Every structure is written in structure tokens, then in C-alpha cells.
Homo-oligomer: A and B are copies of this chain.
Amino acid sequence: VWKYINQLKEEGYVIESSSKKGYKLASIPDILNKREVISYIKTEFLGKEIYYFDTIDSTNNYAKKIAEDGCEEGTVVISDCQIAGKGRRGREWASLAGKGIYMSVVLKPLLEPSQMQLITLAASVAVAEALKEQTGMDLGIKWPNDIILDARKLCGILTEMTCETDKINYVILGLGVNVNQDMEDFPADLRDKAVSLKAGCKQLTGENKTFNRAKIIASILLHIEKYYKMLQSGLNEEIIDKWRLHSITLGKQIMCSDSRGSYLCIAEDITEDGHLVVKCEDGSVRELLSGEVSIKGVMGYI
């Protein structure tokens, strides 16, 4: 027994031993490893194959490599830390060791490439529901797929697709979730834009709480699997309705930046293929698929 106990201790578990009573796990720590994640997983096919790393350049890059080599659909790449984490449009994503969730999922949907936006929206609904379920906190989705807590970014999703004109080869769904960072863990220029579950919980409730990342990962995978199945069954309208429910964008004044420059408008609705319908100040109505959107809130635009 002591060999395994020592191994667990090395991985960071706190185990009390007594010569009479045997061993006792003092508390469930936030340890991220493959075994811990697997112990919580309840999915059918998502995460049946997991690649786990202590450090990696970017989980999306690794997922792309194994997808090119023909890995199974549902394969998941997790790393405790990323040294070159990626956000949308080539931006960096701060990926501190021991604090966040950095995970990529390989999907091979039988959908048209034009339905990529729906995959992204479905993923944002899945992550929002998983995080609400795990934390009870009041999260929202900013169009298209950022998860927002207390007007700051809690989770970003980077969807990358490789396709032919009429056939998706694979989709990499990359997630970065800020979990146990304290505010001082974030780079100074991100402190008014980023938040973690721990920091948000402390600021909103005063409670000092650490969250179990392996448990959260398992819940996210379960919810992604559920919405992915709905998508494959053509239940697009149901997914869009769920997205509307969690949206913090709809009904708000937003600032759009696209090839036409920056302009103010009201976010009116989202179409069944995931375009944002906005009404401009001159009364004209536009559908946005791309471009940046900021929402006017009490703290200014987020």
C-alpha cells in the first residue's frame, strides 16, 4: 500500500496516516492529472481518449496534430499549463500552471462547414451550463462565445476547423477557463478584463474557495457531448434558444468593430445560423458573423 500512498503524496494529495487506523485522505485537493479527470467522467464518447500534459505549447496545436494523424472523434487534450496558449485571431491566452483549465476536444461533425458558428455557440452554452452547475454563479455568454462573470472574461473558446468546400475534416474546440487564479495572478493589463471562478467568488460573496478542476472538466465534457448530439440531430433551434437564454448581449447597446469601422447599435437577436442581428443608429439592420463586439455595461464597454 505505502508505495501507492507515496505516489499519491508525490502527486500532491494530502494523506494522513496513523499506525492504528490506516490512511485518510485529508481533503480533496485541486490536482489535475489524467486519473483524477477520468474518475469524474460520465460521457459516452467525449474524453474516452485523453492526452494529458503538465506543460505544452498549446492544446489546440497538439489536437490539430493528432487529428491530422487520424485520432478518434472525442479525443481530448488537457494541459496543466500552456506556454503559448492561443486566443481568437492569433491573440495570447494567459495559461498559468496549476490554476486554469486548458483543454481541446477533437470533433468530426457530419455538418456543412458553414455550420461552424453553431458548433461554437453550442459549446458556449455547454460550458456556461457546466460552470453554473458546478459553481452556482451567475454567468452569461457574450456573443459569440465568451463566458462572462461580473463583466469580465472567465472563459474563452477558440474553434478551429479544417475542411473541404462541402465537408468538415475536423473541428478543434479549444477552451481556456480561469479557475483558481487570484487577481494578482493575471497580467496587470488584464485585471479589469479577466476574472477566475475563485477571484469572482471572493469578490462577489467574500468566500475563499478553491475549485476542483478535474470535476469541472468532467462536467464541461458531459455538457458538450449533450449539445453536440443535439447539433448532430439537427436541433439547431433548441440550441439557439438556450444561447438566447444565457446571452448577455441581446437587448444591449453594443459597439461593433468590423471592416466598416466602429459603430454603435442594438443587438436585437441571433439568427438560426448564429449571425447576430443588430439595429444601427440610422435604423438599418445588419447581420454580423465576424468582427468584434463590445457591450455597454456599468463598467463601460466589455
Contact = CB atoms under 8 A, between A and B. Distances in A.
A166 B68 contact: no
Nearest to A88: B164
Contacts of A135: none
A113 interface: yes
A257 interface: no
B166 A289 contact: yes
Q: Which of A64, A158, A161, A166 has the most CB of B within 10 A?
A: A166
A89 B160 CA distance: 19
A162 interface: yes
B164 A169 contact: no
Nearest to A290: B166
Contact of A160 (B88, B112, B158, B162): B162
A114 interface: yes
A88 B164 CA distance: 8
A178 interface: no
Interface residues of A, number: 26
A116 B165 contact: yes
B169 A160 contact: yes
A166 B64 contact: no
Contacts of A112: 289-290
Contacts of A162: 64, 160-162
A117 B165 contact: yes
Contacts of A165: 116-117, 120, 144, 159, 289-290
Nearest to A169: B160
A167 interface: yes
Interface in A228-275: none
19 contacts: A61-B68, A64-B162, A89-B167, A112-B289, A112-B290, A113-B116, A116-B163, A116-B165, A158-B164, A160-B163, A161-B162, A161-B163, A161-B164, A163-B163, A165-B289, A165-B290, A166-B289, A166-B290, A167-B290
Given A89-B167, A112-B289, A160-B162, 15 more contacts: A64-B162, A88-B167, A89-B164, A112-B290, A113-B161, A114-B114, A117-B165, A144-B165, A159-B164, A159-B165, A160-B163, A161-B163, A162-B162, A163-B163, A165-B290
